[in-house]
């Protein structure tokens, strides 16, 4: 299982792992949104968008997770296999 790198998709700001996000309009709780995948631990409200505290842009929460690319050799083998068998498969990422 690969660990995702978490940073702002706009400016690459890395969240410090501190409770800096507020559950706006719902319960007012403050917590680290990346520890819970955008879910308020108090009222369980799910936030689809997360605001960057560096550039202040609002991005979809899942866009903050960046998965490292596979080794180039492995990737080439995969591509060659796909070409020969003409299989088109969707990659699903669970966040
Ligand atoms: Zn809440
Ligand atoms: Zn940012």
pLDDT for position 15: 98
Residue 22 CA to ligand 1 centre (angstroms): 8
Q: Which domain holds residue 62?
A: 5-69
29 assigned to some structural domain? yes
23 assigned to some structural domain? yes
Residue 28 CA to ligand 2 centre (angstroms): 23
Q: What ligand has the least distance to the C-alpha of 42?
A: 1
90 assigned to some structural domain? no
47 assigned to some structural domain? yes
Residue 28 CA to ligand 1 centre (angstroms): 6
Per residue, the 3-state secondary structure of the chain, as one string, reads: CCCCEECCCCCCCCCCCCCCEECCCCCCCEECHHHCCCECCCCCCECCEEECCCCCCEEEHHHHEECCCCCHHHHHHHHHHHHHHCCCCCCCCCC
76 assigned to some structural domain? no
83 assigned to some structural domain? no
Residue 53 CA to ligand 2 centre (angstroms): 7
pLDDT for position 59: 98
pLDDT for position 57: 98
pLDDT for position 88: 56
41 assigned to some structural domain? yes
What does the pLDDT look like over 56-95, one tens digit per residue? Answer: 999 999 999 999 876 667 666 776 666 555 555 566 665 5
Residue 72 CA to ligand 1 centre (angstroms): 42
Domain count, the chain: 1
What does the pLDDT look like over 3-54, one tens digit per residue? Answer: 899 999 999 999 999 999 999 889 999 999 999 999 999 999 999 999 999 9
pLDDT for position 14: 98
88 assigned to some structural domain? no
pLDDT for position 90: 63
């Amino acid at each position: 299982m690969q660990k995702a790198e978490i940073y702002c998709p706009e400016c690459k700001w890395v969240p410090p792992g501190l409770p800096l996000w507020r559950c706006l309009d719902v319960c007012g709780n403050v917590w680290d949104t990346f520890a819970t995948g955008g879910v308020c631990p108090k009222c369980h409200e799910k936030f689809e968008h997360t605001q960057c505290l560096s550039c202040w842009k609002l991005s979809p929460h899942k866009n903050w997770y960046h998965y490292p690319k596979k080794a180039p050799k492995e990737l080439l083998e995969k591509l060659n296999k796909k070409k020969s068998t003409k299989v088109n498969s969707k990659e699903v990422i669970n966040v």
